[in-house]
Chains A and B, each alone.
Chain A
Amino acid sequence: MLTAVILTPLLGSLIVALLGRLSAKVARVLALLASLASFGVVIAAVATSSGSQAASGAAQWWMLTMDGIAAPLLLLTGFLGVIAVLAARSETRSPAAHYALLLAVQASVSGVFLAGNLVLFYAFWEAVLIPMYFIIGIWGAENRRHAAMKFFIYTFAGSALMLVGLIIAMFQGNAFAMGDLLSTPLSVGLQGPVFWLLSIGFLMKLPVVGLHTWQPDAYTQAPTSGSILLSGVLAKMGAYALLRIAIPIAPAAYDAARPVLVALGIIGIIYGALVALAQSDLKRLIAYSSIAHMGFVVLAIGIGTPLALGAAMLVMISHGLVAGMLFLLAGQLYERTGTYEMSRLGGFGKVLPAWATAFTFAALASLGLPGLSGFPGELAAVLESWGSIGWWTALAALGVVFSAAYNLTAVRRVNHGPVAEEFAGIADLGLAEWLAVAPLAVGIVVVGVWPQFVTGMAEPALRALAAVTGGAL
Chain B
Amino acid sequence: MGVWFDAPWIAVALPLGLALVVGAGGSRLAPFMRWLAMLGPLAVLGTGIAHLGAAGSGGVTAPFVSATTAAGSLTWISVGDFALKIGYAVDGLTAVMLVVVGFVALMVMVFSVGYMADDPGQARYFALLSLFTASMTGLVIADGLVGLFVFWELVGACSYLLIGFWFNKPSAAAAAMKAFIVTRIGDVGLFVALAILWGTTGETSYAGIIAALPQLSGGLVTAVAILLFIGAAGKSAQFPLHIWLPDAMEGPTPVSALIHAATMVAAGVFLVARMWPVFAASPAALTVVLVIGTFTALASATIAVGQNDIKKVLAYSTISQLGFMFAALGAGAWRAAIFYLAAHASFKALLFLGSGSVIHGSDTQDMREMGGLAKTMPITAFTWIVGAAALAGVPLFSGFFAKDEVLHGVMLASPVAFVALVIAAAFTAFYITRATVLTFFGSYRGSNHPHEGGPVMWLPLVALAIPAAGLGFAASGIATTLGGEHEALSMTVAAISTTVALIGIVVGVLLYRRGPAADTSLEGSLGGLWRASRAGYYADAAAGRFIVAPVTAAAQGLYAFFDRAVFDGIVEGSAVVSRKLGAWFARLQTGDGQRYAVLMGLGAVVLVALAISPGALETILGWLGR
Contact = CB atoms under 8 A, between A and B. Distances in A.
Interface in A369-390: 369-371, 375-376, 379-380, 382-387
A452 B75 contact: yes
Contact of A307 (B77, B151, B173): B77
Contacts of B81: 306
Interface in B259-277: none
A379 B77 CA distance: 11
A397 B151 CA distance: 18
Interface in B177-215: 177, 180-181, 184-185, 187-188, 191-192, 194-196, 198-200
Contacts of B167: 349, 415-417
B623 interface: no
A459 interface: yes
Given A154-B571, A412-B177, A275 B558 contact: yes
Interface in A147-169: 150, 153-154
B554 A370 contact: no
B116 interface: no
B185 A401 contact: yes
A358 interface: no
Q: Main secondary structure on chain A at its contact with chain B?
A: helix
B558 A271 contact: yes
A424 B502 CA distance: 56
Given A383-B198, A452-B75, A275 B559 contact: yes
A310 interface: yes
Interface stretch (A111-119, A207-215, A331-339, A431-439): A207-215
B552 interface: yes
Interface string B70-104: 00000111111110100000000000000000000
A254 B496 CA distance: 67
A383 B199 contact: yes
Contacts of A252: none
B157 A401 contact: no
A382 B195 contact: yes
Nearest to B174: A412
Nearest to A387: B199
Nearest to A279: B559
B555 interface: yes
Given A375-B150, A386-B199, A415-B167, A213 B80 contact: no
A309 B78 CA distance: 11
B568 to A, nearest CB: 4
Contacts of B194: 382-383
B77 A452 contact: yes
Given A401-B185, A455-B78, A278 B559 contact: yes
Chain A: number of interface residues, binned into ranges: 35 or more
Contact of B79 (A310, A360, A411, A417): A310
Contact of A278 (B172, B176, B187, B558): B558
B191 A397 contact: yes
A257 B61 CA distance: 53
B473 interface: no
A349 B170 CA distance: 12
* Chain A CB within 10 Å, residue with most, of B168, B176, B187, B191: B191
A201 B176 CA distance: 42
Chain B: number of interface residues, binned into ranges: 35 or more
Contacts of A153: 575
B596 interface: no
A451 interface: yes
B191 to A, nearest CB: 4
Nearest to A212: B567
Interface string B571-602: 10001000000000000000000000000000
Contact of B195 (A347, A370, A386, A466): A386
Given A350-B168, A409-B177, A307 B195 contact: no
B84 A418 contact: no
Contact of A213 (B75, B82, B161, B567): B567
A41 B195 CA distance: 40
A425 B270 CA distance: 48
B556 interface: yes
B55 interface: no
A7 interface: no
A213 B177 CA distance: 29
Nearest to B571: A213
Interface in A115-145: none
Interface string A394-435: 100110110011001101100111110000000000000000
A461 to B, nearest CB: 10
Contacts of A418: 168, 170
Given A364-B157, A383-B84, A416 B173 contact: yes
B551 A274 contact: yes
A380 B558 contact: no
A416 B173 CA distance: 6
A369 B153 contact: yes
A462 interface: yes
B563 interface: yes
Nearest to B147: A370
A393 interface: yes
A375 B173 contact: no
Given A416-B170, A452-B75, A400 B188 contact: yes
B79 A397 contact: no
B177 A408 contact: yes
Interface in B523-568: 551-552, 554-556, 558-560, 562-563, 567-568
Contacts of B164: 416
B154 interface: yes
A243 interface: no
Nearest to B172: A416
A393 B84 CA distance: 18
B146 interface: yes
A278 B555 contact: yes
A408 B195 contact: no
* Chain B CB within 10 Å, residue with most, of A209, A404, A463: A404
A261 interface: no
A225 interface: no
Nearest to B173: A416
Nearest to B198: A383
A401 B188 contact: yes
B168 A347 contact: yes
A277 B79 contact: no
A153 B167 CA distance: 44
B382 interface: no
28 contacts: A271-B558, A277-B551, A309-B79, A310-B77, A310-B79, A349-B167, A349-B168, A364-B157, A368-B153, A369-B157, A370-B154, A371-B150, A376-B76, A382-B194, A383-B84, A383-B198, A385-B195, A386-B199, A387-B199, A405-B181, A405-B551, A412-B173, A416-B170, A418-B168, A452-B77, A459-B80, A466-B79, A466-B80
Which are the 8 A-B pairs with shortest beta-carbon distances? A386-B199, A416-B173, A306-B80, A310-B79, A370-B150, A278-B559, A278-B555, A387-B199
